[in-house]
Amino acid sequence: IMLQCASFDFYYFVLTWPESLCNLDPNKRSCCYPTKGGKPATDFIIHGLWPNFNNGSFPKYCDPKNPYDKNQVADLIGSMEKYWPSMSCPSNDGSKFWSHEWNKHGTCSKSVLNQHNYFLTTLNLRMKVDILSALKSAGIEPNGESYTVKAVENAITRAIGVTPKIKCRPDNWQQLQLYEIYFCVNTTNHFVPCNPSLDHQANCGSDTDQNIYFHKFDSDFS
Ligand code: 5GP
Ligand code: 5GP
């Protein structure tokens, strides 16, 4: 039996703190709530599952002949609306975001995952990590206070067993805030330590003592 080999080395599994999509503009909220399900739960949301090479580069748009097809994921849409909502404006049902993620990244996982399995695998990875509880155990909560990058990393490492990469971005006061959490996942869908030579562009300042804000979802800004 010939096993088809993955044409990439590992995945980044990327989660987003939703408020960090909303507080970028001093004059108005820079996010829009989805048309289905209303305001997402106060929890991390999925950005995507991205095939990557060990040298830091990544394949994209690998199979234009296999576009996103909502019929192949019909049974998963309810979970995708809950855990993988689109926060872009204008308010939308998420199809554009899921289509983008499949076309850009999912098609590059195709030798391993078909369309249904790609979305299912991503949702299953989300079910395995409760970042908010991990952080809460270390006294880190989305209350508008700031915490060091190191404290955030350590809390997640202790709870999940692997060290994530933390990504930051400036909020509308130009203060660094917690934006995304990157995990490395191997081609059999297990969390693995990230290759230390791969320092993902994190924008969290020059050292792990940097303080970053963990904003309340919704109430810091109106
Ligand atoms: P950003 O510039 O916000 O970091 O990334 C923009 C987009 O580029 C992401 O949404 C994602 O599609 C892609 N991207 C950025 N960094 C990586 C990476 O390290 N690996 C992969 N596979 N995609 C990435
Ligand atoms: P990336 O290329 O960074 O993987 O995908 C991000 C693209 O999806 C951007 O073009 C962005 O406008 C769109 N998008 C739609 N909804 C969302 C969302 O809720 N979060 C993020 N990060 N991007 C979204």
Q: What is the ipTM of this complex?
A: 0.95
Q: Is the beta carbon of 58 within 6 A of some atom in ligand 1?
A: yes
What distance in angstroms lies between residue 2's CA and the mean position of ligand 1's atoms? 32
Q: Smallest Cα–Cα separation from 198: which of 63, 50, 98?
A: 50
C-alpha span between 178 and 18 (Å, rounded): 10
Q: Is the beta carbon of 106 within 6 A of some atom in ligand 2?
A: no
SS3 146: strand
Q: What is the pLDDT of residues 69-119, one digit of tens each?
A: 999 999 999 999 999 999 999 999 999 999 999 999 999 997 767 999 999
- Spell out where the chain has E strands: 10-16, 45-52, 145-148, 165-170, 176-185, 191-192, 211-214
Q: What is the pLDDT of residues 122-165, one digit of tens each?
A: 999 999 999 999 999 999 999 999 999 999 999 999 999 999 99
Q: Is the pTM of this model over 0.90?
A: yes
